[in-house]
Amino acid sequence: MDDPAWPAVSSLLDRVRTATALEVDPERGRRVLFSLQVTARSYLGALALNTGGILADHGWFRLLGGGSDHLDDVASVNNLDGRRGTHQPPPFLLVGFDALGGRFAIDGGGLGVAAGEVCYFGPDTLSWGGLGGGHADFVTAAISGALSQTFAPLRWSGWQDEVAALRADQGLSIYPPPFSREGQDIAAASRRAVPVRELVYFYDEAARQLGAPSA
């Protein structure tokens, strides 16, 4: 592949101490890349082929790639395994999670933001909103720390140590929840480690009950 994206991502990782690329089994990475039907010229393909995922900003961001221990691959998360050539592109493509169970997805037309834009479903809003760029922009910003100000309202003093202690498939359950009036001060809330899948289900169910748009 001419002009692959991985050298640019790898160079960025080499310059940042708060992000780590997880190892991936080469054969699994190739299968995931094939399921995605993209090339290694894209950042999406580069992460699938060369990493098991990336833990960025002390592990706050979990960027999906080819899959590793405790972090699913981007194809299986989006139910793309074995679906080559038989379906239309998905309405959105999940590409990452954060430490509170928030989700990142590329809008394929189903999120109502903008096709190709990476959107965020937050535990404080229970709705999707655009981050203002595509997947390459998102990966670069997450690794470099450029999203720190955007996510500052969801962070607290000492969050780095709490988040770094989590496994890649774990997140912090906040009580009272961030979408409630009582839970807006996360520093004063109760926090405990739970599976990310549990958080995703909880926030989707909360959005459904409250009539907020959810995935």
Return d(Cα 75, Cα 209) in angstroms, integer.
Answer: 29
List pLDDT tens digits, range 71-112: 999 999 999 975 544 457 789 999 999 999 999 999 999 999
Identify which has the larger pLDDT, 83 or 168: 168
Rounded to whole angstroms, how far apart are CA atoms 113 and 179?
21
What is the reported pLDDT for 87?
A: 58
Please write the tens of the pLDDT for every residue from 185-202.
999 999 999 999 999 999
Distance CA(88)–CA(112), nearest Å, equals 17
pLDDT average, residue stretch 19-23: 97
201: three-class secondary structure by DSSP: helix
Residues 173-212 as b or e (16 or more Cβ within 10 Å = b): bbeebbbeeebeebeebebeeeebeebbeebbebbeeeeb
